[in-house]
């Protein structure tokens, strides 16, 4: 393995994912997760945009006159909370729906990078769908209580509201790395806890990759493309940094 692999940073792997996504032999495997992301996120945030005005009008009517000044303090918090909850809901739905196709995309990217091949295709994908969906529930169970803990800090004046955004970003970066690196790990039947420990052993690389994904996911339009890009980039990271966990070609 080239030493240059180990010098690659998290953002560089995300850029490699962007380049891999457009490879002719991978495009067909990119289309389905990309379409899922475009339809769900585009529709969800358009709906949210339409509803926010009505929500804020109702909120002002609900406040007594002598508390109207609170609206200036609570509106930013309400916007942050609504967007985060909405993002959590639709990110979870999108990941659930796209999980089997993301796993297949990760498999094909790995085969391209390692020069291996497999005769298994869509039938194996259907056979493994229940296991992949179970893995998504495992990630969700890991995410939700920790995310709620971070969000509760936003309610603590001064110290909590200062610390909460930093913790939220750091945790979001970690979860983005887990979310997308999990596809190649799961393809090789590496269990969830072992995967988390492996990622933690390369904490700087893992966090910088997840932070790059988080930043891109927060940008309008860019966030609609981030899912297949992150899957491709995470698979490149897996291939080059975890050879000891690969047992040969993916065996479903």
Task: Decide if pLDDT at 89 tops 70.
Answer: no
Task: Give residue 1's pLDDT band: very low, low, confident or very high (50, 70, 90).
Answer: very low
Q: What percent of the chain has pLDDT over 70?
A: 74
Per residue in 32-53, pLDDT (tens digit) is 778 877 777 777 777 766 776 6
Can you read off the two tokens belonging to residue 222? 């860019």
- The pLDDT, as a whole number, for residue 17 is 94
- The pLDDT, as a whole number, for residue 176 is 92
d(CA 67, CA 80) in angstroms, rounded, equals 21
Compute the average pLDDT of residues 68-89. 62
CB-based burial of residue 49 (10 Å sphere; 0-12 exposed, 13-18 middle, 19+ buried)? exposed
Geometric angle at alpha carbon 105, from 44 and 185, rounded to 5°: 100
Can you read off the two tokens belonging to residue 240? 């080059």
DSSP state of 245: G
What is the overall mean pLDDT for the chain? 80
Enter the pTM of the model.
0.76
- The pLDDT, as a whole number, for residue 3 is 44
Smallest CA-to-CA distance from 169 within 242, 80, 109 is with 80
Per residue in 109-151, pLDDT (tens digit) is 999 998 877 655 566 666 777 788 888 889 989 988 998 888 7
- Other beta carbons within 10 Å of 130: 10
Residue 92's SS3 state is helix
Most confident residue range from 55-59, 104-108, 130-134: 104-108
DSSP state of 70: G
Can you read off the two tokens belonging to residue 147? 């995310």
d(CA 230, CA 181) in angstroms, rounded, equals 8
- The pLDDT, as a whole number, for residue 238 is 94
Per residue in 191-238, pLDDT (tens digit) is 999 999 999 999 999 999 999 998 888 776 777 788 899 999 999 999
- The pLDDT, as a whole number, for residue 4 is 43
Task: Give residue 174's pLDDT band: very low, low, confident or very high (50, 70, 90).
Answer: very high
- The pLDDT, as a whole number, for residue 61 is 73
């Amino acid at each position: 393995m080239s030493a240059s692999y180990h010098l690659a940073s998290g953002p560089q792997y995300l850029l490699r994912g962007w380049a891999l996504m457009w490879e002719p032999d991978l495009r067909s495997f990119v289309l389905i997760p990309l379409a899922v992301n475009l339809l769900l996120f585009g529709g969800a945030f358009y709906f949210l945009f339409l509803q926010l005005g009505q929500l804020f009008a109702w909120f002002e009517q609900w406040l007594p006159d002598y508390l109207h000044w609170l609206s200036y303090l609570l509106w930013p918090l309400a916007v942050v909370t609504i967007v985060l909850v909405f993002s959590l809901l639709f990110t979870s739905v999108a990941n659930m729906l796209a999980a089997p196709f993301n796993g297949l995309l990760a498999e094909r990217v790995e085969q391209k990078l390692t020069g291996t091949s497999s005769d298994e295709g869509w039938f194996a994908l259907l056979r493994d769908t229940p296991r992949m969906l179970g893995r998504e529930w495992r990630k969700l169970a890991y995410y939700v209580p920790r995310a709620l803990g971070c969000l509760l800090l936003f309610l603590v004046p001064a110290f909590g509201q200062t610390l909460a955004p930093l913790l939220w970003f750091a945790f979001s970066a970690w979860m983005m790395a887990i979310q997308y690196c999990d596809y190649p790990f799961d393809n090789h039947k590496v269990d969830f806890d072992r995967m988390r420990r492996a990622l933690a052993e390369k904490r700087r690389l893992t966090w910088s990759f997840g932070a790059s994904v988080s930043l891109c996911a927060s940008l309008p339009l860019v966030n609609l493309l981030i899912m297949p890009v992150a899957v491709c980039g995470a698979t490149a990271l897996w291939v080059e940094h975890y050879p000891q966990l690969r047992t040969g070609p993916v065996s479903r």
